[in-house]
Amino acid sequence: MRITQGCFSFLPDLTDDQIVAQIEYCLRNEWAIGLEYTDDPHPRNTYWEMWGNPMFDLKDAAGVMMELAECRKAFGDAYIRINAFDSTRGFETVRMSFIVNRPKVEPRLAMKRTDVRGRTQSYSWTAVR
Partner 1 sequence: MSDMTITTGDAVQAVDLAADFRESGVAGILDELDRELIGLKPVKLRIRETAALLLVERARRKLGLSTETPTLHMSFTGNPGTGKTTVALRIAGLLHRLGYVRKGHLISVTRDDLVGQYIGHTAPKTKEILKKAMGGVLFIDEAYYLYRPDNERDYGQEAIEILLQVMENQRDDLVVILAGYADRMEKFHQSNPGFRSRIAHHIDFPDYEDAELLTIAEAMLARQNYAFDADARKAMTDYIARRRAQPHFANARSIRNALDRARLRQANRLFEGAGGPIGADELSTIRAADITASRVFSASADADGKPA
Interface ranges with partner 1 (CB under 8 A): 52, 55, 57-64, 66-67
Longest CA–CA separation in the chain, Å: 59
CA atoms within 13 A on the CB side of 10: 0
Q: How far is the CB of 68 from partner 1 (least distance, A)?
A: 11
**For partner 1, the closer CB: 19 or 61:** 61
**For partner 1, the closer CB: 57 or 92:** 57
Amino acid at 51: W
**For partner 1, the closer CB: 58 or 94:** 58
Q: How far is the CB of 51 from partner 1 (least distance, A)?
A: 12
Q: Which residues pair with 33 in a beta bridge?
A: 55, 84
Going by the DSSP 8-state scheme, the letter that residue 55 receives in this structure is: B
